């Protein structure tokens, strides 16, 4: 019995969601709407068109504040090495300040069906900073009572494992594409989110993940032919800079 209990790993503990579509906007819906990536405006656009998820990137300032930004250096300012006071002066091209994690989550809260897919970025200052960021992210999500609204992804395997330790029910997926789904499952990582080239090379991992009841996500799929291929393979999620195109393909399929 004890063996059985231990053997359960994390099966069934992760959040189950009703999935209305597989469309995840990569850094928000920015490309066709002409708003900056990772801006609150791009999140609002993703919500408006009904994406099942909107992905965004989080880094940590030198004094421990999580902020939403992709690159380690923004307008010549290193996020890792600058205080929040310095980072707060930075603006996006639409005039928004770089969002704090809190302001971003706040913007995504409320009545909408868009999951916030939080990428914990790898710190250039080493593992400890990445893990500190991981703790801050989970802490902030819990404090804002948004655990059911947020999924986590990271290229850092230890960050994924730490999310699992800190929140038994969180959906967490690994990005780096170098570990087989069944291995991840043993560590309690309940989803895979790999580059499209990884799935083309290791097609058997798709079925392996699906057999393990792991949600399967792929990035970053921007071409129509690739979208069709992953739709054909019944991916749970397709992460794209072109959510509008993916929606139009889904619509065309339904009308067939
Ligand atoms: Mg990202």
Q: Which of 19, 24, 20 is nearest to 221 (CA)?
A: 24
Residue 25 pairs in a beta bridge with 54, 240
User: Which residue, 151, 121, 115, is CA-closest to 134?
Assistant: 121
Is 7's pLDDT higher than 50? no
Residue 197 has pLDDT above 50, yes or no: yes
Query: What's the mean pLDDT in 115-132?
Result: 98
CA distance 40 to 254: 31
The predicted-structure confidence for 44-81, as pLDDT tens digits, reads as follows 999 999 999 999 999 999 999 999 999 999 999 999 99
Measure 86 CA to ligand 1 centroid, in angstroms. 23
- From ligand 1's centre to the CA of 217, what distance in Å? 13
**How many whole angstroms from 89 Cα to the centroid of ligand 1?**
23
pLDDT at residue 18, as a whole number:
72
Average pLDDT for residues 77-87, to the nearest whole number? 98
Domain ranges in the chain are: 13-254
Mean pLDDT of the chain: 94
Q: What is the pLDDT of residue 109?
A: 97
Average pLDDT over residues 182-190: 96
Tell me what pLDDT residue 232 has.
Answer: 96
Stretch 132-137: mean pLDDT: 98
Residue 1 has pLDDT above 70, yes or no: no
Residue range 131-159: mean pLDDT, rounded: 98
Q: How far is the CA of 76 from the centre of ligand 1 (A)?
A: 20
Q: Report the DSSP beta bridge partners of residue 192.
A: 174, 216
> What mean pLDDT is predicted for residues 139-143?
98
Q: Averaged over 208-215, what is the pLDDT?
A: 96
- Ligand 1: distance of its center to the CA of 166 in Å? 21
CA of 157 to the centre of ligand 1 (A): 15
- Range of weakest confidence among 18-22, 77-81, 170-174, 248-252: 18-22
Q: In angstroms, rounded to a whole number, what is the distance separating the alpha carbons of residues 76 and 88?
A: 14
**SS in 3 state form for the chain?**
CHHHHHHCCCCCCCCCCCCCCCEEECCCCCCCCCCCCCCHHHHHHHHHCCCCEEEEEEEECCCCCEEECCCCEECCEECCCCCHHHHCCCECCCCCECCEHHHHHHHHCCCCCCEEEEEECCCCCCHHHHHHHHHHHHHHHHHCCCCCCEEEEECCHHHHHHHHHHCCCCCEEECCCCCCHHHHHHCCCCEEEEEHHHHHHCCHHHHHHHHCCCCEEEECCCCHHHHHHHHHCCCCEEEECCHHHHHHHHHHHHCC
Distance from the alpha carbon of residue 254 to the mean position of ligand 1, in angstroms: 30
Q: Which CATH architecture has domain 13-254?
A: Alpha-Beta Barrel (3.20)
Q: Which two tokens stand for residue 204?
A: 């058997």
Q: Give the mean pLDDT of 197-216.
A: 97
Tens-place pLDDT, residues 95-112:
999 999 999 999 999 899
What was the pLDDT predicted at 13?
63
């Amino acid at each position: 019995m004890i063996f059985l209990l231990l053997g359960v790993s994390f099966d069934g503990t992760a959040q189950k969601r009703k999935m209305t579509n597989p469309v995840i906007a990569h850094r928000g819906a920015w490309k066709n709407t002409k708003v900056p990536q990772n801006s609150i405006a791009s999140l609002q656009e993703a919500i408006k068109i009904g994406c099942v998820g909107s992905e965004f990137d989080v880094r940590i300032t030198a004094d421990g504040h999580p902020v939403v930004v992709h690159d380690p250096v923004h307008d010549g300012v290193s996020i890792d090495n600058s205080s929040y006071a310095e980072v707060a002066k930075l603006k996006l091209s639409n005039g928004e300040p770089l969002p704090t994690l809190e302001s971003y989550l706040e913007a995504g809260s409320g009545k909408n069906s868009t999951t916030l897919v939080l990428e914990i970025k790898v710190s250039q200052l080493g593992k400890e900073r990445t893990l500190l960021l991981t703790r801050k992210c989970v802490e902030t999500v819990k404090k804002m009572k948004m655990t059911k609204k947020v999924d986590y992804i990271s290229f850092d395997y230890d960050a994924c494992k730490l999310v699992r330790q800190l929140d038994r029910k969180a959906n967490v997926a690994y990005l780096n594409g170098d570990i087989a789904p069944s291995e991840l499952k043993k560590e309690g990582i309940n989803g895979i989110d790999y580059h499209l080239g990884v799935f083309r090379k290791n097609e058997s991992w798709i079925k392996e993940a699906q057999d393990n009841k792991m949600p399967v996500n792929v990035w970053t799929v921007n071409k129509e032919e690739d979208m069709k291929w992953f739709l054909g393979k019944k991916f749970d999620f397709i992460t794209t800079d072109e959510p509008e195109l993916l929606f139009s393909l889904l619509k065309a399929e339904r009308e067939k």
